[in-house]
Chains A and B, each alone.
Chain A
Amino acid sequence: MKPRHKRFALIGGGIAVLGIAAALVLNAFQSNLVFFFTPTQVAAGEAPIGKTFRIGGMVKEASLQRQPDGLTVRFIVTDTAKEFPVAYKGILPDLFREGKGVVAQGKLGEDGLFTASEVLAKHDENYMPPEAQHAVDQAGKAAKTVKQ
């Protein structure tokens, strides 16, 4: 085999690997990107129904209710402007508290109930998840523009 052919073979192999990787990435991106919505956006009907996404905001005070099975909990997430109910079956992270920030991942049902598959943990008492902060900030901004 001539050196030129050899070089072509090596470059071709490299491009093939890149091509396969690009195909894998595009395919994975299509189905595995998880978008984030604030309660206001959900209330405005921007969030998809039956598709996984993330929500963030504050857990409304005195909204946490344990269901009779002992494991399922319901609580209300608010960004101070809008709020909506979330259900989660399982053990909540240590730092889940009423009145504190929360981020949950799951699906929105036809009935408007968000069923979380995962409630994301925080790692520090005073730490606010950026997404939850973002939701509250957005709602604050919206409120200001309405007043003007």
Chain B
Amino acid sequence: MIPELGHFALILALLVALVQGTLPLAGAARGSRAWIAVARPAAQAQFLLVAFAFGCLTWAFVSHDFSVAYVAQHSNSRLPLEYRLSGVWGGHEGSLLLWLFMLSGWTVAVALFSRHLPDAMVARVLGVLGLITVGFLAFILLTSNPFERLLPAAEDGRDLNPLLQDPGLIFHPPMLYMGYVGFSVAFAFAIAALLSGQLDAAWARWSRPWTTTAWAFLTLGIALGSWWAYYELGWGGWWFWDPVENASFLPWLVGTALIHSLAVTEKRGSFKNWTVLLAIAAFSLSLLGTFLVRSGVLTSVHAFATDPRRGIFILILLAIVVGASLFLFALRAPKVGLGGRFGLVSRESLLLMNNVLLVVATGSVLLGTLYPLFIDALGLGKLSVGPPYFNAVFVPLMVPLLILMAPGPLARWKHADMRPVLKQLVPAFVAALLLGVAVPLLYGGWRPLTALGVLLAAWIAGGTGVAIAGRLRGGLSGQPLHWWGMHLAHVGVAVFVVGVTMVSSYQEEKDVRMAPDDTVTVGGYTFRFIGVRKEMGPNYQAMVGELELSRDGKVLRTMKPEKRAYLTSAMPMTEAAIDTGLLRDVYVSLGEPIDERAWSVRVYYKPFVDWIWGGCLLMALGGIVAISDRRYRLKRRAAALQGATA
């Protein structure tokens, strides 16, 4: 009964979404207050219905309702409660429902937190979001209904993929989707502005906090996914340039360009057309990512289903979104003014360079991701584009971007004289140069690229230091939160760069055969193999290895990597044991038994690897701090006042 209620709620939601996607837009165009007033209640009803449907599916998981096909495929009576809850989004249908749930959540948030915006604007934004909702609801109801019954009911479920039975998975998809879907709000604001013809600084100010929030969630989501791959897949890498990773990285890159370009549009009124294009691109790339991941054209942990109808549906949706929004853009863009002029050397031109570099980098990653698909589709053979391509193209494009990060925030708007800026940065440069030379020499061997990485990270951090020192006289407490947020995020980038540089320069990896009392040393840490014994988990049987970790003869701890065999699926899983530290991780995972006593064992030494995710966390925090700034609320009130008096 409950699954049917959920299904019914989704059908009702589709009807509400149809209303939400048409009446308010028409009302805003015709100036009909009654129709405009439909937008907010529709968004709220929509959210309640989708939340109810989501609750129904969750209940089906919790109560082991194996007469629901989706539950029977992704759960099991022995699956622990926390994984039954996260199992809701452990497969194709449920993850789409999660996507939809997020979308209706963002929509209702816009409806609730935009009291200060003109009603017509809110109606347009909610209307566009309503149309997107229609697309996704139709997709779910027509091709991927999570409530489909399985008759007769399965006696027990096929269990959740053991790779997904992990705390990282509980949070990775919701965070990522918050980001992905969040760009739909930026997109809706852009389309609403195009529709109304009011493409101005006020629009940028309204759109900015939403975009930054979405970006912060996406940052966290990607970081969580990377962390999960690091410890759960047992490969010890943090980024593989896997097409699915790229699918989430592309909207992030464009989103990063977008939040910088929005800053220019808000402060100076320039870049308006460009900002709109970026907003359209960010959301389109989110949809493209969904298509790539969900259509099964890619080989990946995320490729749940290979039903061609689903791929075609998303492709059509993508074509409509891109086609319609670009058409609208082409109609309206010529009428948009250029906004504030700026000199060849100015904060604007530096941000323009930021945007050009980020967009070109996006293009290069997109090319590497789609190229094998095109070649395959054209029947020219099968090939893959691996990490060497991305490293060779992406990294050189990021170097100038990182260099610009120090002078950028110091340069003046409109027209900047770079001489005083560069003069201010001299101490930062000297410090960066010293660190860049000293760290590789002291740490374990001179490598030019390591020196460059450390130098760039120190340069960015130094730039932030100079900026803060420069404001000391003005009183630091007087600095607005968005200023602190920006610098926090930039320091995050510096921390990230340190992590990437150090781990790729000095990591050590060994695959060895170990019998009891054998030892192996990586990065100065010695592992002594003690043995392996059997243990039972709730829904798996584990071989638990025991290794003693020591350094300079001093025993630090015992590490217990596991090899699990899940009972239902008989699927083996490697659970690595990791000793985490501020300056390094040591990592051990079990391979397979070689004979009676010996196992193959993989050991890693990973210097500074946690800085990678720490840096991402700082970036996301920076975003959150920036949007907490009072000015967004104050100026909204001011805008509302202006609107009232006008």
A, B in one complex: yes
Q: Which residues of A contact B (CB under 8 A)?
A: 1, 3, 6, 9-10, 13-14, 17-18, 20-21, 24-25, 27-29, 31-36, 54, 66, 69-71, 89-92, 94-95, 103, 105, 120-121, 123-125, 127, 129-131, 134
Instruction: State which residues 591-621 of B face A: CB under 8 Å.
Output: 591-592, 594-595, 598, 600, 602
Write out the residue numbers on chain A whose beta carbons fall within 8 Å of the beta carbon of B574: 94
Q: Count residues of chain B with CB under 8 A from any CB of chain A.
A: 51
Measured CB to CB, the closest approach of chain A to B371, in angstroms, equals: 8
B72-93 vs A, Cβ < 8 Å mask (1 yes, 0 no)? 0000000000000000000000
Indicate whether B168 reaches chain A with its CB closer than 8 angstroms: no
What are 17 A-B interface contacts by the 8 Å CB criterion?
Answer: A29-B389, A32-B386, A32-B388, A33-B384, A36-B382, A54-B382, A70-B595, A70-B600, A71-B511, A91-B511, A91-B600, A92-B592, A94-B234, A94-B571, A121-B233, A123-B161, A130-B299
Which B residues lie within 8 Å of A20 (CB)? 396-397
**The stretch of B351-359, B432-440, B531-539 that contacts the partner chain:** B351-359
Chain A minimum-CB-distance residue to B595: A70
A22 to chain B, nearest CB (A): 9
Known: A24-B392, A35-B383. 10 other contacts (CB 8 A): A9-B344, A32-B392, A34-B384, A34-B386, A35-B381, A36-B383, A36-B384, A69-B513, A94-B572, A131-B382
- Asked if B381 contacts A28 (CB within 8 A), the reply is no
Provide the B576-604 mask, 1 if CB < 8 A to any CB of A, else 0: 00000000000001011011001010100
Contact residue among A27, A91, A123 (Cβ-Cβ distance under 8 Å from B602): A91
Set B344, B396, B570: member contacting A10, Cβ < 8 A:
B344
Give, as a whole number of angstroms, the nearest-CB distance from B522 to chain A: 15
Which of chain A's residues have a CB closer than 8 A to the CB of B573? 94
Task: Give A80 to B408 CA distance when docked, in angstroms.
Answer: 60
B333 sits at the interface (CB 8 A): no
Partner of A71, one of B303, B385, B396, B513: B513
Interface residues in B182-205 by Cβ distance below 8 A to A read none
- Chain A residues positioned under 8 Å from B392 (CB to CB): 24, 27-28, 32
Tell me which of B52-60, B277-285, B360-368 binds A. Answer: B360-368
Query: In the assembly, what is the distance between CA of A130 and CA of B364, in Å?
Result: 25
B73: min CB distance to chain A, Å: 11
- CB contacts (< 8 Å) of A70 on chain B: these are 513, 594-595, 598, 600
For A25, the chain B residues whose CB sits under 8 A away are 364, 367, 393
Per-residue interface assignment for chain B, residues 493 to 509, with 1 indicating a CB less than 8 Å from any chain A CB and 0 otherwise: 00000000000000000
A14–B400 alpha-carbon span in the complex (Å): 13
User: Chain B: residues with CB nearer than 8 A to chain A?
Assistant: 161, 163, 233-235, 299-301, 303, 341, 343-344, 349, 352-353, 356-357, 360-361, 363-364, 367, 381-386, 388-389, 392-393, 396-397, 511-513, 569-574, 589, 591-592, 594-595, 598, 600, 602
CB pair A33–B383 under 8 Å, yes or no, is yes
Residues B393 and A24 in contact, CB atoms below 8 Å apart = yes
Tell which of A17, A33, A69, A123 touches B356, judged by Cβ atoms closer than 8 Å: A17
Known contacts A35-B383, A123-B300, A131-B299; is-contact A91 B591 (Cβ 8 Å): yes
CA distance A84 to B558 in the complex (A): 43
Question: Within the assembled complex, what's the spacing in Å between the Cα atoms of A22 and B386?
Answer: 18
Task: State the CA gap A33–B363 with chains docked (Å).
Answer: 17
Contact of B343 among A6, A90, A130 (CB under 8 A): A6
Secondary structure at the A interface, as helix, strand, loop or mixed, is mixed
Tell which of B389, B571, B594 touches A33, judged by Cβ atoms closer than 8 Å.
Answer: B389
How far, in whole Å, are A130 and B298 apart by their CA atoms in the complex? 8
Q: How far is the CB of B272 from chain A (nearest CB, A)?
A: 16
Cβ of A66: which chain B residues have Cβ within 8 Å of it? 594
B360 and A18 within 8 A (CB): yes
Minimal Cβ-Cβ distance residue in A for B512:
A71
Q: How far is the CA of A127 from the CA of B416 in the complex (A)?
A: 58
Q: State the Cβ distance, B478 to closest chain A Cβ, in Å.
A: 34
Nearest CB in chain B: distance from A66 CB, A: 7
State A18–B574 Cα separation when bound (angstroms).
43
Please, which residue of chain A has its CB at the minimum distance from the CB of B234? A94
Are A31 and B388 neighbours in the complex by a CB distance under 8 Å? yes
Contact B382 A24 (CB under 8 A): no
Knowing A28-B388, A71-B513, A134-B382 are in contact, say whether A10-B349 is a contact too (CB < 8 A): yes
Smallest CB gap from A38: residue in B? B382
Task: Give the shortest distance, in Å, between B295 (CB) and chain A (any CB).
Answer: 12
| Residues of chain A contacted by B364 (CB below 8 angstroms) | 21, 24-25
Residues from chain B with a CB closer than 8 A to the CB of A18 are 360
- Is B396 in contact with A24, judged by CB distance below 8 angstroms? yes
Question: Once the chains are docked, how many angstroms separate the CA of A36 from the CA of B382?
Answer: 5
Interchain CB contact under 8 A, B397 and A21: yes
With A24-B396, A71-B512, A71-B513 known as contacts, the answer to whether A1 contacts B344 (CB < 8 A) is yes
Listed from nearest, the 10 A-B pairs whose CB atoms lie closest are A70-B513, A91-B591, A36-B382, A28-B392, A123-B301, A32-B389, A32-B388, A94-B572, A28-B389, A70-B594
Q: Once the chains are docked, how many angstroms separate the CA of A89 from the CA of B602?
A: 12
Q: Are the C-beta atoms of A90 and B161 separated by less than 8 Å?
A: no
Residue numbers in A under 8 Å from B360 (CB-CB): 17-18, 21
Contact partners of A21 in chain B: CB under 8 A: 360-361, 363-364, 393, 397
Contacts of B592 in A (CB 8 A): 91-92
B355: nearest residue on chain A (CB-CB)? A14
Instruction: Select from chain B the residue with minimum beta-carbon distance to A126.
Output: B569
Q: Are A35 and B382 in contact (CB-based, < 8 A)?
A: yes
Q: How far is the CA of A69 from the CA of B271 in the complex (A)?
A: 63
Question: Closest A-chain residue to B571, C-beta based?
Answer: A125
Give chain B nearest CB distance to A72 CB in angstroms.
Answer: 10
Q: Which of B384, B591, B592 neighbours the largest number of chain A CB atoms within 10 Å of its CB?
A: B384
- Report the Cα distance A115→B600, complex, angstroms: 19
Chain B residues with CB under 8 A of A24? 364, 392-393, 396-397
- A120, B240: Cα distance in complex, Å: 12
Q: Within 8 Å CB of B343, what residues of A?
A: 1, 6
Closest chain-A Cβ to B346's Cβ sits at a distance in Å of 10
A92 contact set on B, CB distance < 8 A: 591-592
A130 CB contacts on chain B under 8 angstroms: 299
Provide the bound-state CA to CA distance between A31 and B512, in Å.
31
From the candidates A1, A13, A105, A129, name the one contacting B353 in the complex (CB within 8 A).
A13
Q: How far is the CA of A127 from the CA of B306 in the complex (A)?
A: 11
**Distance from A8 Cβ to chain B, minimum over Cβ atoms (Å):** 10
Smallest CB–CB gap between A105 and chain B, Å?
A: 8
